[in-house]
Amino acid sequence: MRVDPEGSEMKTKDLVLVALFAAIIVVLAALPPVVLPWVPVPITLQTFGVMLTGLVLGPRRAALVLTLYVALALIGLPVLPGGRAGLAVLMGPTGGFLLGMIPGAFVVGYLSGAFKTPAPETTGATYRDVSRCFVASVVGGILVVYLFGVPWLAIVAKMDITKALLAVTVFIPGDLIKAAAAAFLANQIRKARLIQA
Domains of the chain, CATH where assigned = 5-192 (1.10.1760.20)
Count of positions (residues) in the chain: 197
The two most distant CA atoms of the chain are separated, in Å, by 61
Q: CA–CA separation, 58 vs 52, rounded Å?
A: 10
Chain segment 47-92, per-residue pLDDT in tens: 999 999 999 999 999 999 999 999 999 999 999 887 888 888 889 9
Instruction: Tell how far CA 148 is from the center of its chain.
Output: 13
Helix axes 46-57, 172-192, angle to 10 degrees: 30
Chain segment 123-146, per-residue pLDDT in tens: 455 667 899 999 999 999 999 999
Q: Which amino acid is at 150?
A: V
Confidence class for position 37, pLDDT limits 50, 70, 90: low
Chain segment 140-195, per-residue pLDDT in tens: 999 999 999 999 999 999 999 999 999 888 889 889 999 999 999 998 888 877 77
Question: What distances in angstroms separate CA 33 from CA 9, 43, 46, 94, 140, one per listed residue?
Answer: 38, 5, 10, 13, 22
Q: Which amino acid is at 56?
A: V
| Predicted TM-score (pTM) of this structure | 0.84
pLDDT of residue 40: 60
